[in-house]
Amino acid sequence: MMKIELNRTDDAYAFEAKDSNGHIIMTDGAVEMGGHNSGARPMQLLLMGLGGCSGIDIVSILKKQRQEILDFKILIEGEREKDKEPSLWKYIKVVFQFSGNVDEEKAKKACALSIDKYCSVAATLRAAGCVIDWSVEVRQ
């Protein structure tokens, strides 16, 4: 079982979140809602989780295929539902950018396997009705 502990760190909405390995992430609310902007918003963390989850899958797949990744960047944009509580992610666009000796078709297949099959965060978002579009850019 995974364990996470959150401790409030100010008089508003800031929390220190710690996993069972001692890794720490700060979260907070926007200034407009009374927060101090001292950490990422929880819904931003979900997008970060999507990038991290799919990134791990993709690197693993491409390493097995002996692809030489010199740089790998993941750009994510998301749109949430309007005028709803809770306001879920309804659309996410992901751009996977590679540089190095990476075959573009292998990169596309690795990204498809991650987003469509292996990434638990992507599956969780899709189960909630979110559409995830993605593309690949390879620079030699």
Domain residue spans of the chain: 4-33, 42-139
Provide the residue count of the chain. 140
The tens digit of pLDDT for each residue in 70-96 reads 999 999 999 999 999 999 999 999 999
The tens digit of pLDDT for each residue in 117-127 reads 999 999 999 99
Mean pLDDT of the chain: 97
Whole-prediction pTM:
0.94
User: Token pair for residue 23?
Assistant: 């890794």
CATH node for 42-139: 3.30.300.20
Smallest CA-to-CA distance from 13 within 32, 40, 33, 35 is with: 35
